[in-house]
């Protein structure tokens, strides 16, 4: 292979990466993610803001903020908050919740891999189950570190591969197209070793703990499946795709087994401070 050929094959496929993100946008705009978040994971935003000890007047960025899970709680703590997300459809609910709480936050359509801010802009960067869906983990970690001020803190929550949501995505993966080579698995962010590698050059010192959250139970596995396959974009679209491919009935059986045996949802809490 000539050096020119090598350059061509090593170049990031920007078109494929853009397409991947457009698909992510469609996924998270499908169904009713604000309802999913408020029913199932809403307390995590409050918990991470408490862990971070967010204070009055601090500049806080919520990466992949969705309908404002962490952003809202940071604003309630008196911080000056910006939320960024690929899916601006979710901002309507975030704004409604902020109005109800009598707080304000700036919400910007944007990409975790290309944050629209100067370096060293924020005292705190937070993400609850958000940045983990950016396909190139090193790029997303680099952006978080870049926009953080010296002495600033990060607080990230990520589903673990061994936990219930890791098990859910593994079940789904058997029925979905293989992801493109640049897209790392989101639940890798639930491995302490992987996270240490992602931030190894960042000057951010990390600590970890694992927590769980237990959503209210459904009456039956069928009720759970109906809820999740209607409201949760990744499953709503997987259902439509597998119905088209004739594999939904098989996936349905596996998901009913999954919903019949629900443990609390485990996630990794990643806390860090940048030297400075
Ligand atoms: C599971 S939701 C979490 C939302 C919110 N943080 C919460 O806790 O409710 C994942 C979010 O990541 C966003 N997202 C996915 N890829 C992204 C990217 N590359 N940049 C910014 N946001 C992204 C989606 O639009 C979605 O709002």
Per-residue pLDDT tens, the chain, 276 aa: give them.
Answer: 334 444 445 567 999 999 999 999 999 999 999 999 999 999 999 999 999 999 999 999 999 999 999 999 999 999 999 999 999 999 999 999 999 999 999 999 999 999 999 999 999 999 999 999 999 999 999 999 999 999 999 999 999 999 999 999 999 999 999 999 999 999 999 999 999 999 999 999 999 999 999 999 999 999 999 999 999 999 999 999 999 999 999 999 999 999 999 899 999 999 999 998
- The per-residue pLDDT for 11 is 63
Q: Whose CA is nearest to atom 13 of ligand 1?
A: 64
CB of 143 closer than 6 A to ligand 1?
Answer: no
- Ligand 1 pocket test: which of 14, 40, 85 has the largest number of ligand atoms within 8 Å of its C-beta? 85
Q: Per the domain annotation, does 39 fall within a domain?
A: yes
CATH code, 19: 3.40.50.150
Torsion angle (degrees, nearest 10) of CA 204, 207, 210, 214: -60
Residue 119 phi, psi (nearest 5): -70, 150
Strand order in the sheet with 122-128: 106-109, 80-85, 59-63, 122-128, 148-159, 265-274, 204-213
Q: Per the domain annotation, does 198 fall within a domain?
A: yes
- The per-residue pLDDT for 12 is 72
Q: Per the domain annotation, does 4 fall within a domain?
A: no
Range of the structural domain that residue 173 is part of: 15-217+264-274
Q: Per the domain annotation, does 230 fall within a domain?
A: no
How far does the centroid of ligand 1 lie from the alpha carbon of residue 90, in Å? Answer: 10
Q: Per the domain annotation, does 187 fall within a domain?
A: yes
Q: Per the domain annotation, does 3 fall within a domain?
A: no
Q: Per the domain annotation, does 57 fall within a domain?
A: yes
Q: Whose CA is nearest to atom 15 of ligand 1?
A: 133
Q: Per the domain annotation, does 203 fall within a domain?
A: yes
Q: How many domains does the chain have?
A: 1
The β-bridge relationship of strands 80-85 and 106-109 is parallel
CB of 86 closer than 6 A to ligand 1?
Answer: yes
Sign of CA dihedral 14, 144, 28, 259: positive
How far does the centroid of ligand 1 lie from the alpha carbon of residue 214, in Å? Answer: 21
Do residues 125 and 74 touch, judged by C-beta distance below 8 A? Answer: no
How far does the centroid of ligand 1 lie from the alpha carbon of residue 1, in Å? Answer: 39
- Ligand 1 pocket test: which of 39, 41, 66 has the largest number of ligand atoms within 8 Å of its C-beta? 66
Q: Whose CA is nearest to atom 10 of ligand 1?
A: 130
């Amino acid at each position: 292979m000539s050096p020119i050929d090598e350059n061509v094959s090593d170049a990031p496929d920007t078109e494929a990466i853009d397409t991947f993100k457009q698909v992510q946008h469609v996924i998270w705009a499908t169904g009713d993610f604000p309802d999913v978040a408020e029913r199932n994971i809403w307390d995590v935003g409050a918990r991470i803001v408490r862990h971070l000890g967010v204070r009055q007047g601090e500049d806080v960025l919520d990466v992949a903020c969705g309908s404002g899970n962490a952003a809202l709680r940071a604003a309630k703590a008196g911080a000056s908050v910006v939320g960024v997300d690929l899916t601006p459809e979710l901002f309507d609910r975030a704004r409604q919740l902020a109005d109800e709480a009598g707080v304000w936050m700036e919400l910007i359509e944007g990409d975790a891999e290309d944050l629209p801010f100067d370096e060293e802009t924020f005292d705190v960067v937070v993400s609850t189950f958000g940045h983990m869906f950016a396909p190139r983990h090193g790029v997303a970690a680099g952006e978080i570190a870049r926009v953080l001020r010296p002495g600033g803190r990060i607080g990230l929550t990520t589903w673990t591969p061994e936990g219930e949501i890791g098990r859910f995505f593994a079940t789904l993966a058997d029925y979905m197209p293989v992801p493109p080579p640049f897209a790392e698995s989101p639940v890798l962010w639930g491995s302490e070793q992987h996270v240490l590698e992602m931030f190894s050059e960042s000057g951010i010192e990390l600590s970890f703990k694992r927590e769980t959250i237990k959503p209210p139970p459904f009456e039956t596995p069928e009720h759970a499946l109906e809820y999740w396959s209607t409201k949760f974009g990744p499953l709503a679209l997987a259902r439509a795709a597998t119905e088209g491919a004739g594999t939904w009935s098989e996936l349905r059986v596996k998901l009913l087994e999954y919903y019949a045996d629900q443990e609390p949802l485990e996630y990794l809490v990643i806390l860090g401070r940048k030297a400075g």
